[in-house]
Structure 1
């Protein structure tokens, strides 16, 4: 992973990381609050030797004291020192338990011996420290005496008496909070990394780029109102959703400008990615430019086009494919634009066979002859083979990728199935993208840029007025978008065409 990937991971999982950090901070605060406070009292002793005071004896005595003081550190925690302390203070614990409360050390290379005692009572900790110091002085005096009546060559003196501490040594609230903060953040980051490694769903364009180099025709942000109002005509003209489809329409006109076919299939990897609404709204968007558009519901397993547009689907594609009706009679006009819809008809028991039949090929050819653009809504690629069968018979495929729905492995399988039938993938449409997120469509600023204004201006010039101006509008569009003088000499994909 590169730095940009880590930054994106942090932005994507900032809420989890922040929550884990706050939880760690809260738990650390509670631990500090409910931990019994302890107090540490300290006393300091000076170790000296008996000598006559000559320079040589002073040097020898200092060396001797430094050598002996290390032994006194361990002696301070032995029963010979601690038992008298227990007896004098009446403590209800043994020498080993008392030793756990005591720490002794030498201060650098000096002859100063520090004794610290930790206890839940500040007064008791000071009393124990003082008693240990006095008991150690007595024990050393006895242990260092050469004979019973002799004088010890070493003398210990208290230079810093123990006093009751005014503040607890533990818990250290600041240290607890810092540890909780770091631990919570580490857990949050660990969870984010694990989630990133396990969760292989496509979330945005960067994830998509890791799987395919296909062109991204556009991105559609998730809109809660789209569930109840899925059609482009139900959204405000300048809404982000409407702008997104205008952008897709414009980019699609640039995709495969040298392609002669006027038909395309809209499909996805899995159900629920929004391919039907994308097909319907793309057809509406194309019709708004003045083109004659045919929308075909070829999802013969779960047809939705008729339901979205409020059209009767009892007679439609399957009716024509089995030779029981006239195509012109089955094409249902919709809206005020030049959009005609061929609904699915009755759901057959053999959809793949019907879609792969010669009748389907003839239907597509007939529609391309009479319409400027043919948009076909096909079933998802992975559950069934219908879309792959249709992809061989049309000019190109638009693959809809639902954000946080399809996984990278599923998308790879879909692309592989299209490659196997040598389908022409015109591009990918990212659907259900978060509006404000690191995974939002990176080119969303185009919706308010000069590119869209140019496309809207082109749409206005292409708006139908009279049949006699159709060829002139086609020429104007090519001059605006492609900078061409002769549209017939330079064919483009889904550009306005008259009937053949």
Structure 2
């Protein structure tokens, strides 16, 4: 992973990282508010040798006192020092409990002893520190006094009396806030990295490239109203989504630069990735470019093309395959351009056998002889084998990948199934991509506030007349198809 990958992870999970950082900041503030204030009072003592000898004797005495200082530091935490202080102040506490609130230290190569006492009361902290220093002076004098009698050679003096502190030493609010923020930030980054590592969904071209090197034919921008208005003719003319399908149309032509393939199977790994709407809108985009297009609904398990376009579904592909009617009588014209739709027909009990039959191969060859392009909407690859079987009759296959939905292992299995039957995989289409953010694919530089006209009788800039059945939901699909039939009949030869 390079720097761009880390930045992409951060951009994908910035809300999580910010939320965790703020949560850590809030916890740090809460701890500071909930904690009881603690005050610390300090006193210092000086250790000296009671001698008036020569300079050499004084030097030896100083070395002796420095060696003894560390022993006095340890002595502070003992009952010999603490019990007299407790008795002097009348504290209801044991020496062991008091020792936990006392901190004694001494700097190296000095004869100074520092005693710090923490308490919830600043006055009490100063009083305990002063009492302990006085008790230490007395304890050292008793311990160092010769057994034969006389005075102690060591003298301890208080050089810095304890004073009641004006502000608490704990909690340290600034430190708690800083630590809370830092811990929250690190936790957020860790969770973001773990989340990215465990998330196998394909979100962008970078994720796609980790799975396959198949050409990326295009990325379809996702718009909020795409579910309510799925067709290209319903989108703003220069919207990112509309431009995405035009780009897909162009890239498909380049992928088929030799011109041998006239029929294209559009499929996906799993249901719900948008293969049907992609097939429909690709057919519309090709028809808008002046090609004669036949859109075939070969998803004989969950046919959706006729429903999206407001056409009759009861007679169509299966009707032609079983010989109940000729394909010329089953093709339904749609829109203002040279676009014809062959609906699915009745759902059969044996879809795979029908799609893999010689009759299906002959039908595709007949349609290829009349139309410039055939777009075939096929079932998903993983649940059933229909698309793999159908790909053997078509010139090429386009695999639709739903961003944020398809997982890497699913796409790997789908491509392997197509390669197993030696299908001609033309490329991959990333669907439902965001228009902004780290995974954005489409970029718009024009103003597309003006939408296509909603009046069916006034097409604009080559857009197709939208069927009344789909717009209003009142007229029958048959009336929509028949209303545009005369407009196409002069432009299409019969399928022989």
Contact kept? 1:244, 1:447, Cα under 8 Å: no
Unaligned runs of at least 5 residues, structure 2: 447-460, 464-491
Instruction: Report the counterpart of residue 291 of structure 2 in structure 1.
Output: 291
2: distance between equivalents of 1:367 and 1:343? 14
TM (normalized to structure 2)?
0.89
* CA RMSD after TM alignment: 1.8
Shift of 1:498: 10
Contact kept? 1:243, 1:447, Cα under 8 Å: no
2: distance between equivalents of 1:194 and 1:49? 64
Instruction: Report the counterpart of residue 309 of structure 1 in structure 2.
Output: 309
Unaligned runs of at least 5 residues, structure 1: 449-461, 465-496
1: distance between equivalents of 2:290 and 2:346? 31
Instruction: Report the counterpart of residue 273 of structure 1 in structure 2.
Output: 273
2: distance between equivalents of 1:57 and 1:97? 41
2: distance between equivalents of 1:359 and 1:223? 40
Alignment of 1:178 onto 2:178:
yes
Contact kept? 2:85, 2:131, Cα under 8 Å: yes
1: distance between equivalents of 2:318 and 2:261? 23
Shift of 1:268: 0.4
Shift of 1:108: 2.4
Instruction: Report the counterpart of residue 483 of structure 1 in structure 2.
Output: none
Alignment of 1:37 onto 2:37:
yes
Shift of 1:191: 1.1
Shift of 1:53: 4.2
Instruction: Classify the secondary structure of the residue corresponding to 2:225.
Output: helix
Contact kept? 2:435, 2:443, Cα under 8 Å: no
Report 1:59-138 matches (<5 A).
59-138=59-138
Instruction: Report the counterpart of residue 407 of structure 1 in structure 2.
Output: 407
Change (3 A) 1:240 1:172: same
Cα offsets for 1:166-215 (capped at 9, x unmatched): 11111001111111111111211121122112110001110000001111
1: distance between equivalents of 2:433 and 2:109? 68
Change (3 A) 1:446 1:238: closer
Instruction: Report the counterpart of residue 470 of structure 1 in structure 2.
Output: none
Instruction: Report the counterpart of residue 333 of structure 1 in structure 2.
Output: 333
Q: Give structure 1 regions of 4+ aligned residues with deviation exceeding 3 angstroms.
A: 445-448, 497-500
Contact kept? 1:222, 1:433, Cα under 8 Å: yes
Shift of 1:147: 2.8
Cα offsets for 1:323-361 (capped at 9, x unmatched): 110111100000000000000000000000000001100
Instruction: Report the counterpart of residue 58 of structure 1 in structure 2.
Output: 58
TM (normalized to structure 1)?
0.88
Cα offsets for 1:244-302 (capped at 9, x unmatched): 11111111111131141210000000000000000000000000011110000000000
Alignment of 1:150 onto 2:147:
no
Contact kept? 1:46, 1:112, Cα under 8 Å: yes
Shift of 1:440: 1.4
Shift of 1:81: 0.6
Shift of 1:446: 7.7
Alignment of 1:395 onto 2:422:
no
1: distance between equivalents of 2:388 and 2:64? 94
